[in-house]
A = this chain, B = another copy of it.
Amino acid sequence: MTDIRQDMIEPLYQAVQQTRPLLRHITGAVEAGLDETGLTVGLRAILEGLLLTGEASLPELTARLQLKRQFVHKMLGEGQEKSLVEALPHPRRKNGHHYRLSPQGRNLIEEIRARELRAMATFAQGFSSREIAAFIRVQAALNGFFRDMAGR
Chain A interface residues toward B at CB < 8 A: 1-6, 8-13, 15-16, 18-29, 31-33, 66, 116-117, 119-121, 123-143, 145-147, 149-152
Contact = CB atoms under 8 A, between A and B. Distances in A.
A8 B3 CA distance: 26
Contact of A123 (B24, B26, B33, B141): B141
Nearest to A5: B129
Counting every copy of the chain, the complex holds 2
20 contacts: A1-B128, A1-B131, A4-B129, A9-B121, A10-B117, A12-B124, A13-B117, A16-B120, A18-B139, A19-B26, A21-B143, A21-B147, A22-B142, A24-B66, A32-B150, A127-B141, A130-B134, A134-B138, A135-B138, A135-B139
Nearest to A139: B15
Nearest to A142: B22
Nearest to A19: B23
- Chain A facing B: main interface SS: helix
A141 B129 contact: no
A27 to B, nearest CB: 8
7 tightest Cβ-Cβ pairs between the two chains A and B = A28-B150, A29-B149, A134-B134, A25-B146, A135-B138, A131-B134, A29-B146
A115 to B, nearest CB: 11
Given A9-B124, A12-B124, A15-B140, 17 more contacts: A1-B128, A4-B121, A4-B125, A8-B129, A13-B117, A15-B135, A15-B136, A18-B139, A19-B19, A21-B147, A25-B147, A28-B150, A29-B146, A32-B150, A33-B149, A119-B149, A127-B141
